[in-house]
């Protein structure tokens, strides 16, 4: 064989190898596209220098409405409205530049985050992103390889569950009204609201007289029924903007926004007289039980420092006076002569 033929065969062999390599790559890409089309996840490879996709599977169109070709020309970050880093305790962050810097330096490996994203048609959806670093031949992190999944339904359910948990954590389990923590949260909120105005806010502490005796004579179950019924009577005497809460035991707090101490006195009197008139039919034999309450009042206008702790202390002191000077009465120093 002549030398020219050998060289020709050598070049042809090299061309064949390159052609085979290109064919193999094309076949591999085709297989990858086929595999990723069978999963609900969108698989991608993101290049950090441009923050654009080197590869993203076609089913991204089902996720975000953009075609794979469109996504390769979009800066992914521009679609993100909110970021929660799962690997950082679901912390919401306004910017993840520092986290990306740490990842590029190799300090962060597995990346898991939830994004609130804007789709092509303007709708918002939550997307889970789970990825690993993408290294170049020298071992430097140049991007990430991962998958995106629509988790909007899960996030909505979790948010509803959180709201329910928060709601129940602020409610007294027996009576169904606000508990002590919620009462003082609301009182602090009202005090903050009136700081720069001339409005007033008042509070009542209502305590059932001789409640321990009711428990001793009729039992705790009947005592619980009494608490529930008294709660209903108190609530019936209030406006929609007022709040009744069970502070603890047989003691209730009543928050009265936009109410002076004079107005609070008449609300307290209405509660006291309504409870006294109510005959509670308790138990299977409908045993009638009569109750009375004592009430202490406090108003923000009478305090130099508008603090909920000071209001509670003042109302509690007046409740103590009411209970120790005969019970079944309302105690408020400034207008004691009207009682």
Q: Tens digits of per-residue pLDDT, 162-172?
A: 887 777 788 99
CATH superfamily assigned to domain 170-338: Reverse transcriptase/Diguanylate cyclase domain (3.30.70.270)
Predicted pLDDT of residue 131: 85
Residue 303 has pLDDT above 90, yes or no: no
Least confident of 89-93, 156-160, 266-270, 273-277: 89-93
Domain boundaries, the chain: 38-156, 170-338
Provide the pairing of β-strand 287-290 with 279-282.
antiparallel
Asked if 52 and 75 count as a contact pair (C-beta separation under 8 A), the reply is: yes
CATH architecture, domain 38-156? 2-Layer Sandwich (3.30)
pLDDT for residue 337:
41
pLDDT at 336 over 50: no
Provide the whole-model pTM.
0.58
Identify the helix (H) or strand (E) that includes residue 178.
strand 178-179
Show which residues are catalytic.
250
Q: Is the pLDDT of residue 294 over 90?
A: yes
Convert the pLDDT of each residue in 183-242 to its tens digit. Answer: 999 999 999 888 877 789 999 999 999 999 999 988 898 899 999 999 999 999 999 999
Name which of 311, 308, 286, 283 is nearest 297 in CA terms: 311
């Amino acid at each position: 064989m002549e030398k020219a033929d050998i060289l020709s065969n050598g070049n042809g062999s090299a061309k064949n190898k390159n052609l085979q390599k290109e064919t193999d790559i094309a076949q591999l890409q085709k297989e990858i596209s086929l595999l990723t089309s069978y999963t609900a996840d969108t698989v991608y490879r993101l290049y950090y220098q441009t923050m654009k996709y080197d590869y993203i599977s076609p089913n991204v169109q089902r996720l975000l409405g953009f075609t794979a070709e469109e996504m390769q020309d979009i800066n992914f970050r521009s679609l993100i409205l909110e970021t929660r880093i799962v690997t950082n305790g679901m912390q919401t962050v306004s910017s993840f530049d520092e986290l990306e810097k740490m990842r590029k330096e190799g300090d962060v490996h597995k990346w898991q985050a939830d994004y609130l994203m804007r789709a092509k048609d303007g709708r918002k959806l939550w997307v889970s992103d789970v990825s690993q670093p993408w290294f170049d031949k020298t071992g430097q992190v140049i991007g990430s390889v991962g998958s995106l999944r629509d988790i909007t339904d899960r996030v909505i359910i979790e948010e509803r569950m959180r709201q329910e948990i928060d709601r129940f954590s602020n409610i007294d389990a027996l009576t169904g009204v606000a508990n002590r923590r919620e009462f003082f949260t609301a009182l602090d909120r009202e005090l903050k609201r009136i700081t720069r105005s001339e409005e007033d806010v008042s509070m009542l502490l209502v305590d059932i007289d001789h409640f321990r005796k009711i428990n001793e004579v009729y039992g705790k179950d009947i005592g619980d029924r009494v608490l529930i019924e008294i709660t209903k009577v108190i609530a019936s005497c209030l406006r929609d903007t007022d709040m009744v809460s069970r502070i603890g035991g047989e003691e209730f707090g009543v928050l009265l926004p936009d109410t002076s101490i004079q107005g609070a006195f008449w609300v307290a009197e209405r509660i006291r007289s309504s409870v006294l008139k109510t005959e509670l039919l308790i138990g299977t034999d409908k045993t009638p039980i009569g109750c009375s309450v004592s009430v202490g009042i406090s108003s923000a206008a009478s305090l130099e420092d508008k603090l909920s702790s000071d209001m509670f202390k003042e109302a509690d002191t007046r409740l103590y006076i009411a209970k120790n000077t005969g019970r079944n009465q309302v105690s408020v120093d400034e207008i004691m002569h009207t009682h």
